[in-house]
Amino acid sequence: MTVVALILCLFAAGVAALGVVSPPRLLALLRKTQTLSGLYLLGALRVVLGVALIFSAPASRVPGLIAIVGGIIIIKGVTLPLIGVERVRRLLDWWSAKGSVFLRGWALLAAAIGLWLAYAIAP
């Protein structure tokens, strides 16, 4: 499970890095997921990541924190499809209206968290 968690953390960090380099490309990618099936797919990926983090936690550098983060990610994954496409669309519109500096800042934070998680669970 550590390998799955590591791959998903690096994937998330890579997508976030895309937002640092090119916010319009990240927005275009996110807009493609604004369907019910897209929300289910993203939710499922979050649940898989959360479960993988929980199973990887005992062997990680900070087991308690990794387990908590895994639980939070599972909750976010389960609730994402329940939020609904229209609300996600409005949230993305609000987020994109804040400008590229705002987007880059959040993307940089997300990339840092993804890389930190990968570091924390790496053998």
**pLDDT of res. 71:** 98
Number of independent structural domains in the chain? 1
Q: Which residues of the chain have pLDDT under 70?
A: none
Q: For residue range 69-80, what is the model confidence (pLDDT) as tens digits?
A: 999 999 999 999
**pLDDT of res. 49:** 97
**pLDDT of res. 123:** 84
Gap between the Cα atoms of 95 and 105, Å rounded: 12
**pLDDT of res. 38:** 96
State the residue range of the domain holding 104.
2-121
pTM, entire model: 0.92
